[in-house]
Amino acid sequence: MPRQAAHPVAELFTARWSPRSFTGEAMPQADLDTLLEAARWSPSASNIQPWRFVYGHAGSGAFAGILAGLVPFNQGWANKASVLLVVASKKTSVAPGATDAKPNPWHAFDAGAAWMSLAVQAHLMGYITHGMGGFDAAVLSTALGLPDDAQIHAVVAIGKRGPKEALPEGLKAREEPNDRLPLSAIAAEGRWTF
């Protein structure tokens, strides 16, 4: 059953969700480049654009390295994705006209905007995305050669949607779109009331 918005929104917001069943078919690099291009045009505080993406196509050493950094639960289904993509951001930036890097307090906020742009573009192209927080940041940072001023926020599985019957038994029942909190639980005028 389609999800129902409480207020009028574009259908892509209720139609997009995060399945776990993937077909495993290869994703053309040109399609991935389009997703990354959408992320490139995301809003950014002071136009710093701190987001960074490291990815691996299924069957590559890069894919295997990213998969090895996931918790076992996520490895069990993400291994069928076409691409695994690490969403990270630079925690520091050099302001225009400056020479010293300073902390960028908005790096994670901007990386989140870039990830959403990528997810929306994927949905529009018929791909599914599933962001994961279940990963070992130290393992991934070492495997990917991340510098000290980078922070990993998520790993995203990308590909074509597969049948839920292909999932392990415990995940089949969860392969359905979920609902969201009501607006009253996330937005209030003038004062924090949550």
Query: pTM for the whole thing?
Result: 0.95
Residue 151, classed as helix, strand or coil, is strand
Q: How far apart are CA 137 and CA 145, in angstroms?
A: 12
Amino acid 1: pLDDT:
58
* Relative orientation angle of helices 107-124 and 29-40, to the nearest 10 degrees: 140
Q: How many CB atoms lie within 10 A of CB 95?
A: 12
| Confidence at residue 67, expressed as pLDDT on a 0 to 100 scale | 98
Integer Cα distance of 121 and 37 in angstroms = 9
Domain boundaries, the chain: 17-164
Query: Given this model, what pLDDT does residue 168 score?
Result: 86
CA distances from residue 16 to 2, 3, 52, 110, 193 in whole angstroms, order as listed: 10, 10, 23, 21, 29
Check residue 150 and give its pLDDT: 98
**DSSP 8-state assignment for residue 41:** T
Rounded distance between C-alpha atoms, residue 148 and residue 32, angstroms? 27
The pLDDT assigned to 97 comes to 87
Q: Which of 17, 98, 16, 93 is nearest to 51 (CA)?
A: 93
Q: What is the pLDDT along the chain (194 residues), one digit of tens a residue?
A: 579 999 999 999 999 999 999 999 999 999 999 999 999 999 999 999 999 999 999 999 999 999 999 999 999 999 999 999 999 999 999 988 889 999 999 999 999 999 999 999 999 999 999 999 999 999 999 999 999 999 999 999 999 999 999 998 889 999 999 999 999 999 999 999 99
- Would you identify the CATH topology of the domain 17-164? NADH Oxidase (3.40.109)
Which among 157, 156, 46, 62 has a CA at the least distance from the CA of 105? 46
